[in-house]
Structure 1
Amino acid sequence: MNILDIKSFLKLVEIQTKVASITPFILANLFLLYQYDSFNFVNFSLFFLSLLAADMGTTAVNNYQDFKRAQKKEGYNYELHNAIVKYDLSEKTVKKTILSLFGAAVLIGIVLFLRTDIVVLLIGALSFLVGIIYTSGPVPISRTPLGEIFSGLFMGFFIIFLAIYIHNLQLLNIFRESNQVIIEMVYYDIIKIFIFTLPLILGISNIMLANNICDIEDDLANDRYTLPIYIGKLKSLNLFKYLYYLSYLSILISVILNILPIYSLLSLLTFFLVEKNINTFFKKQSKKETFELAVQNFLIINYATALTLIIALIF
């Protein structure tokens, strides 16, 4: 067995995929600066570190679960794309790494809670719980047709909501009065945030969907019954396409409702690049050759929007 070095650690946590969680965080703070006059650098830093540690821990758990549950271990590069097999890592080392990452995420999260309020604790704990059952337990969410929904909502919406809320904007307030627990919400602002996050929610869901489309045969062999297995490849590909179309529609609606600046209409020009990637993916669904197009589309759409927010902040 080999020891865990930097190279094997980065492969175990699939550092290249962290863009899916960091992108919502970046957009959240740009949106915060555009829409609100509030920023707390310490809370910003704590949330970023906790988010990164939790995301890396979740990915490591997913790789460990795949390693433990895999029934088909030859013939489709399993020994190359699973870090535990590729670097001959011991299970003990992997478990220690997972516990260390989750421990760091929890400790930093507690410090952030102590600096904010109960809302951060509740949403953070719920997100952490979903992150765990997403990749582990008797029936992990990632092995069910609900994987796309959970990954999109929790990584695309809740990350942004928390990233904005920690700057003490009081978008949501929970308190006890007599024998009642009262929840107060700034509905309009929460709805605005949700509409703003739709390209993120749908883009992250599509990354998961593309991954599952590419893995249909292997997932069947390993008893993973994901959404594409339930609805079929053709319907999955059409869903993949329409979710991007809905993303562009949500950007247009956001501009109309003054959630995004008028400059954000420029991000609609990226449609042609995204459409080209969609057509390429329709022709061939391969983890090695075309899966990355889903990640590219996610980055193209959302960083184009990020750029327009930066332009608005400057001018």
Structure 2
Amino acid sequence: MNLRTFLKYVEIQTKVASMIPLALGTLYALYRFDSFRLENFLFMLLSLLSFDMATTAINNYYDFKKAARTHGYGYETHNAIVRYKVKERTAVTVIVVLLVLAAGGGLLLVSQTGLLVFLLGGLSFLIGILYSFGPIPISRMPLGELFSGLFMGFVIIFISAYIHADGELASLALSGPWTDLSVRLDIRLTEVLALFGFSVPAVLGIANIMLANNICDVEEDIDNRRYTLPVYIGKAHALRLFAALYYLSYLDLIVLLLLGVHPLLVLAALLTVIPLRRNIAAFRARPEKAATFILSVRNFVLLCGARIALMLAAVLLETL
């Protein structure tokens, strides 16, 4: 497998969906808690990127193995295993290597941070695997948007902030012998809720990438017995939900104001609604994988990229 085929197999262009939450959580910790740990950041980057690529590869491999219809809908071109004639053994080997890298980076991060990262990271690994694998993968159910949004949009941001925050968000400790083990979990609820509010654009933006993908594939999903949310609620209702989630994402601006971010910076983030509305209209008019699906990714980058720029500016202003 050459580099080009590998990048297509793991759909490298979609990795922005995990790298942006990593950046958001890191900048949040830098602004809110004035803390940044380079070693922790690098370990999480390795683990997160490797696992994101692995789950995409698993999804493509599972679709390749389970496809009931192998002609039409662009199957011959959009599945990298078919398009580049990748050997099944090679496809599986890539998945295993990526999972080993992800687990290794995660364990190194846990060694620096503690048990809570192990539990949250382990749960994220489990959901990521079940998303594409198992008797009934999450991606083939009407829960894909919920799980992808919450775990990639909030849990990643939480961990990305937590690894720098020195207990400012939560702490988990074990004490006593194994026969009488005591577990103590402390959560700073106000801080966690503030972080969740800050994460709203990432949560809803990632959910909408999944929703847009399922809207584009609704006919194919019916043929392949993938009972996604648009299959259940219908394409028209799914398109209305697609638009509504984007507008709800601006609720985080209230949280930014409460955190003390300068109002002019917050107002600048609000201006992203102008190009966002154009992209929503274009997708609703022609919801097709080849033509307009990319608009959901652009909207996510637009929403969260504006927040990254905003937080960078806020950090610089605080420093000055």
TM-score (norm. length: structure 1):
0.96
CA distance in 1, matches of 2:12, 2:84: 16
CA distance in 1, matches of 2:310, 2:111: 34
Work out whether residues 15 and 49 of structure 2, in 8 Å CA contact, stay in contact via their aligned partners in 1. Answer: yes
Give the unaligned 5+ runs of structure 1. Answer: none
Query: What is the one-letter code of the residue matched to 2:255?
Result: S
- 1:37 counterpart residue number: 34
- 1:308 counterpart residue number: 310
SS in 1 for 2:271: helix
Q: CA offsets per residue over residues 190-249 of structure 1, 9 Å max, x none?
A: 111100000000000000000000000000011100000001111111111110110012
2:294 to 292, 295, 313: 292
Query: What is the one-letter code of the residue matched to 1:111?
Result: L
Query: What is the one-letter code of the residue matched to 1:72?
Result: R
CA distance in 1, matches of 2:174, 2:118: 16
Instruction: Tell me: CA distance 1:177–1:108, structure 2 relative to 1, closer, same or farther (3 Å).
Output: closer
CA distance in 1, matches of 2:246, 2:19: 20
- 1:255 counterpart residue number: 256
CA distance in 1, matches of 2:213, 2:58: 17
**Is residue 2:111 matched to residue 1:109?**
no
CA distance in 2, matches of 1:142, 1:5: 28
Work out whether residues 28 and 160 of structure 1, in 8 Å CA contact, stay in contact via their aligned partners in 2. Answer: yes
Q: Identity over the aligned pairs, expressed in percent?
A: 48
Work out whether residues 156 and 197 of structure 1, in 8 Å CA contact, stay in contact via their aligned partners in 2. Answer: yes
Query: What is the one-letter code of the residue matched to 1:32?
Result: A
2:82 to 68, 72, 85: 85
Segment drifting more, 302-311 vs 219-228:
302-311
- 2:137 counterpart residue number: 140
CA distance in 1, matches of 2:251, 2:148: 21
- 2:170 counterpart residue number: 172
Query: What is the one-letter code of the residue matched to 1:221?
Result: D
1:152 to 146, 149, 154: 149
Q: CA offsets per residue over residues 287-306 of structure 1, 9 Å max, x none?
A: 00011111111111111111
Instruction: Tell me: CA distance 1:70–1:260, structure 2 relative to 1, closer, same or farther (3 Å).
Output: farther
SS in 2 for 1:182: strand
**Is residue 2:9 matched to residue 1:12?**
yes
Segment drifting more, 144-153 vs 301-310:
301-310
